[in-house]
Amino acid sequence: MPTAFPWTDHNRRLVPLKLAVFVALFGPAAWVVFAYGAGLLGARPLNEAIHEAGLWTIRLIFLALAVSPLRQIWQWPRLILVRRMVGVAAFAYALFHLSLYVTSESFDVGKVASEIVSRVYLTIGFAALLGLSALAATSTDGMVRRLGGRRWQRLHRLVYPIAVLAVIHFSFQAKLDLWEPTVMAGLLGWLLGYRVLAWRFGIRGYLAWPWVVVLAVIAAIGTALGEAAYFHLAFHAPLMRVLAADFSRTTGLRPAVVVLAIGLAVSAIGGLRRLSVQHGQRRLRASRV
Ligand code: HEM
């Protein structure tokens, strides 16, 4: 039976987690609209709104990608209930982002089309948007049935190249300040790395907890090396000097450190959750004896 509303299950019962996420997904868009109306978006409000909508699009793509690893690491299977909603929201934010861009170009669709063709970062963004449209259009229960589980899964693996395109689009438009795109690239490394490790070393797709800690370190090292390689190739900065910045207190919070902190925080929550589940099981066994 198809779900009646995004916040209900197949038996049409309210699922609080789904309702909470559904409401939360409107938050950023509501804030952008409100801040725009209230004049809180600075000297170039439309440009700022485009940026906010773009940021939320990429964040939501990443959150949708994070659902599978997090439900395993945190032993929270019900998280899967919100994956489709988050993915469709990413598509909605991408449309919002594009609409704001069309608005900033005074609705001159011809100009927007020619910009998309001539500016590489827009072409890449548009390719990502097309990919997201295919995923959103096939996200219904009916489409899963029509395509069949295997074909549907194969099509939805498109989310990986879409996430890569999103990071490239983000990096290309960022010009000089690559702090956040570098963090996103590192997190993408974590998300993709989880799949590779789970496939290679996992048991039925589940990765043992120590691997999750190892992954956090690998993703951070990858981020540091990627950043150093970029600065070396683009600006001939000495590799070791960029790498040394990751250990300096004067260079602010480096992307590799942020990626490490997020990876370790995810692992720590997973570790605590594991301990509490084991404790609960032990108490249950003891109460039965
Ligand atoms: C899945 C698709 C897309 C994602 C994830 C995405 C994401 C982003 C992100 C994260 C930013 C930077 C925000 C910031 O720096 O604060 C951005 C900027 C931007 N994006 Fe996208 N975008 C997508 C598609 C598109 C499309 C289809 C267009 C238009 C054809 C577009 C046009 C722009 C423009 C004009 C900017 C601002 C550039 C500037 O100010 O120089 N994006 N986008």
Domain boundary among 175, 199, 230: 175
pLDDT number for residue 281:
87
Beta bridge partners of 8: 14
Q: Which of 46, 93, 170 to mutate to test the pocket of ligand 1 (most atoms within 8 A of CB)?
A: 170
Q: Same domain for 65 and 120?
A: yes
For residue range 215-224, list pLDDT tens digits in order.
999 999 999 9
Judged against a pLDDT cut of 80, whether residue 99 lies above it is answered with: yes
Looking at the structure, do residues 207 and 170 belong to the same domain, yes or no?
A: no
Q: Which of 208, 39, 79, 64 shows the shortest CA–CA distance to 131? A: 64
Ligand 1 near 90 CB (within 6 A):
no
Q: Are residues 93 and 59 in the same domain?
A: yes
Q: Is the CB of 122 under 6 A from ligand 1?
A: yes
Same domain (yes/no): 153, 278: no
Last residue of a domain, one of 132, 148, 175: 175
Please check whether residues 19 and 108 belong to one and the same domain: yes
Q: How far is the CA of 97 from the centre of ligand 1 (A)?
A: 7
**Residue 186 pLDDT level (bands cut at 50, 70, 90):** very high
What pLDDT, on a 0 to 100 scale, did the predictor assign at position 248? 81
Quote the pLDDT of residue 175. 74
Q: How far away, in angstroms, is 227 Cα from ligand 1 center?
A: 21
Same domain? For 77 and 145 the reply is yes
- Alpha helices by DSSP H, listed for the chain, are 16-37, 45-73, 83-104, 109-118, 120-137, 141-147, 149-156, 159-174, 179-201, 209-235, 239-245, 255-288
Q: Looking at the structure, do residues 171 and 236 belong to the same domain, yes or no? A: no
Q: Is 219 in the pocket of ligand 1 (CB under 6 A)?
A: no
In whole angstroms, give the CA distance from residue 124 to residue 95. Answer: 15
Indicate whether 145 and 65 sit together in one domain.
Answer: yes
Four-residue CA torsion sign, 65, 66, 70, 71:
negative
Same domain, 209 and 115: no
* CA-closest residue to ligand 1 atom 38: 173
Tens digit of each residue's pLDDT (9 = 90 or more) over 228-280: 999 999 889 898 888 888 888 788 889 999 999 999 999 999 999 999 988 88
Number of domains in the chain: 2
Asked whether the CA dihedral 268, 191, 77, 132 is positive or negative, the reply is positive
Residues 69 and 164 in one domain: yes
Judge if 36 and 142 occupy the same domain: yes
**Listed residues 153, 175, 197: the one ending a domain:** 175
128 lines ligand 1 (CB under 6 A): yes
User: Alpha-carbon distance 232 to 185, whole Å?
Assistant: 17
Query: How does pLDDT run across 103-159, given as a tens digit for each residue?
Result: 999 999 999 999 999 999 999 999 999 999 999 999 999 999 999 989 999 999 999
Instruction: Determine the structural domain holding residue 257 and report its residue range.
Output: 176-289
* Ligand 1 pocket test target in 173, 182, 187 with most atoms within 8 Å of CB: 173
If asked whether residues 166 and 184 sit together in one domain, one would say no
Which pLDDT tens digit goes with each residue over 58-90?
999 999 999 999 999 999 999 999 999 999 999
- Does this model's pTM top 0.85? My answer is yes
